[in-house]
Amino acid sequence: PETKLFMAHARSATFSLGKDNLDYNQPFTDGKLGFVFNGTIKKMKTSLKLEGEIGSQKLFSLIKLLLKNNPGTNILEKVKDFVLAKAESIEGMNIGLVDKNG
């Protein structure tokens, strides 16, 4: 289909359960957003109900939730602050986020 944007992301599965599971393949999309993540966030504790089975799915769910309550710019800064406050350790947190409106 015709598009103004193409998003691709290549990485290897972190854990053996993730290999060959297409649901875990990125980029993740929801019709409005495209999302990619590379890194390791360990033991993030929150009372929020986040969708997903693996960390990158839950991080995408967090972004959508934060966008719902905080529309506008600087959403990745809000995600960074949230994760820094809630995670035990972070070994990289590279996030790519694209909005269909540019």
pLDDT beyond 70 at 3: yes
State how far the Cα of 98 lies from the Cα of 101, in Å rounded to an integer.
8
Instruction: Determine the pLDDT at residue 46.
Output: 94
Torsion angle defined by CA atoms of residues 49, 57, 95 and 8, in that order, rounded to the nearest 10 degrees: -150
Q: What is the pLDDT of residues 20-75, one digit of tens each?
A: 777 777 888 898 899 999 899 999 999 999 999 888 999 999 999 999 888 767 89
Between helix 55-69 and helix 75-86 the angle, nearest 10°, is 120
φ and ψ of 50, to 5 deg: -100, 135
- CA dihedral (75, 80, 86, 92) positive or negative: positive
* pTM score, whole prediction: 0.83
